[in-house]
Every structure is written in C-alpha cells, then in structure tokens.
Structure 1
C-alpha cells in the first residue's frame, strides 16, 4: 500500500489527504493530477481491457474545489462498481454515493463556513458538475489563489457590448429564466449565455 497523503496534501486540505489516499489504494485507481482543462474539472474512466479505474483532477483548482471534484469522481467509481453501465451517470445511485462519500469530510472541519453551507445545499440534489450550481461555484471561486480578472455576463449592465474568447462580439440582453439573451453583432443571431460565462471588453 502506497501512502499518497503527502502528494495529495499539496492540492487539497491536509486532513482530507489520508482518506483519499486510502480510496486510491482500496480501489486500485490510477489517480492523475491533470493540466488545466477548460471543459471539465475532473474525469472518471471505468476499467477497460485490463486497465484500472482512472480519475484525473485539474491541478489548478483551489484546495476545496480539488477535493470536491475528487469526491465527485470517486462517486462515479463507486457507482460503476455497484451497477456497471446500467444506471445514468448522474442518476439517483450516483447522487446517493456522492452524499455518502462526502459525509466524512463534513465532520473534519476543513471547509470554511460559506463553502460548508453551499455544499450542504448542493447535496440536496447534486448536479453533473459543481459548476452548474451557481451558489457553490461562486463560493468556491472566492478561494481561488488568483481570481481571474474577467467579468461575467451577469455582472455587466444590460446592453453592454462584450467579447468572448475567440473574438466574437455580443450585446447583452434580457434574462430569460436562467440565461441571458445576447445578440452577436456580426450575424445578428441571438444566443443564450450562462450567467457566469466569462466575458472580455470588446
């Protein structure tokens, strides 16, 4: 059995590291700390053709986001052990496992009060990604080492002109339920933007 606690404690709260290290050993999981990925914070791959369980988590997450993402992916591993591919990836079985795996960490007093509150609320109905829970996402972002100096769609005034990565330019419109109508100036097409989509000066 290899103790990964020392390496893991560089990325997550130190009291959590021995638990995650034990999970890695118990499941024979290939745990990898990944480069930054824009499309996902972490990833799980089921055993295939003799390969072990594989989990990867982005290296640049703050310690609390890193731990929460790690628990999310281990919930996938546990669900696969129980049901293989017979259930939905983020169905009731995964949600039950996520809550069960999160439980010991809530007793360690490692989360700041605002993150703890957000996690408890999120656990009422965990989503496919912590990023889709606006309250939890915003709370976790407060603890980023270098908060990105970029505005979000929800933070700029209506009718503001903004750009997105790649250079396309839009005008912010009204909010429709959970997303904002935004007009692309070059094509006059309307797109719906997530409130926390990052934007740049045009």
Structure 2
C-alpha cells in the first residue's frame, strides 16, 4: 500500500511525503501503534535481524503525530551517527531534532499558534513533548472532542473519573501537580494538570 496515502490518515497531508521518504531512506520499520498511556512513540535500534523500528500511537492528532514521529527519527539519526555512545536526549539528539523539523516549517505545516510554540520548544527540546506544558497544551487544542477534560480545567472539589472507573475529587495545587482524593479509599494522589479525566455530574 502507498506509504504516503496511509501516513496522510495520521499526519498533515503535506508532511506525509517527507516521513515516507525517511522511512525508505533509513530502511525503517514504521509501525502505527495502539494507544500507550506512558508514551506517544518509541524508537528501537537495529538488533536481531531487525532494521530501525519506530512506533507512534495511532490516536494522536495529526500535529502531535508529526512532532512525535520527528522526535523518534531524530533518535534514529543520532543512533546512526553515534551508535548509542551519547545520551538519548543529549545535545546531539537536540540538534538533529531541530534540523529534522526544518522541512515542516518550510512547508508551513503548522498553524500559526502551534508554529510559535514549537519554535520556542526547539530552543531546548525536552525528552518528551508531554514534559513541556506549553507545547502539550498547544497540541491538545487539536485533539478531537472526547468528553474528557484536563485536571487543571476543573474547579476545585470537582469529582472526576478515570478510564478504569476510579473516582477522585480535585483538591489543591502542590507545586506543579494537583492533589486529588480517591473517593473509595481516601488516598491522596498527585495528578499532572494536563491529565485527561472525565468529570462526574453531581446530578
């Protein structure tokens, strides 16, 4: 099947030919993966007869899918250059990430609001787009409506539920995370402001 056509279902259409070209050039096994709560994407170097392997979660919005793909391809290029002798998210990876984002800025792939946030992020990219709150918020704006809300968007004392059915009450902000009380157990948990949860109606 045509790589560009498949990738266009997940990426901005003008970005798909570039990613398809990289897959061929680097002889990379590129997998569109199920949702993983702990990560958006993954890179594995060649081993046991496999080529480079990259996987990206299927349910990311097109811009998050693209940023994640470039993040992983920057790992691949850094591995090719240094064979694992440098830190995974060290300066070598940061330089490659910035360089590999270039074609997408030239093509005007990103909307203006996202363009500016990504440029700021690339001044010193973090190990994950999740760990940069400004970038994560900007990318989240382009998610499809799901009925979910972020913890930071809920008023204090709001009840909310996780996908596993557990119910919590939002309490106070402690440094960068919110303390939330698990209703059934009385235990306190810390939640990222951008954690996706489902508000519980009080009616």
2:75 aligns to what? 76
Distance 2:171 2:61 in 1: 33
Matches within 5 A, 1:130-149: 130-144=129-143, 146-149=144-147
Question: Are 1:60 and 2:49 matched, yes or no?
Answer: no
Cα distance per residue 1:81-122 (max 9 Å; x no partner): 122222222222211111111112111111110110111111
Distance 2:2 2:26 in 1: 14
Q: Which runs of 5+ in 2 are unaligned?
A: none
Distance 1:48 1:167 in 2: 40
Distance 2:7 2:149 in 1: 32
Cα distance per residue 1:50-77 (max 9 Å; x no partner): 2100111122222211111110110110
2:45 aligns to what? 46
2:36 aligns to what? 37
Distance 2:183 2:156 in 1: 15
- The structure-2 alpha-carbon separation of the partners of 1:9 and 1:165, relative to structure 1 and needing over 3 Å to count, comes to closer
Shift of 1:141: 2.1
Normalised TM-score (structure 2) = 0.89
Distance 2:122 2:33 in 1: 26
**Superposition RMSD in Å:** 1.9
Give the one of 158, 161, 164 matched to 1:163: 161
1:150 aligns to what? 148
Secondary structure of the corresponding residue to residue 14 of structure 2: helix
Q: Which runs of 5+ in 1 are unaligned?
A: none
Normalised TM-score (structure 1) = 0.89
Shift of 1:157: 1.3
1:187 aligns to what? 185
Secondary structure of the corresponding residue to residue 14 of structure 1: coil
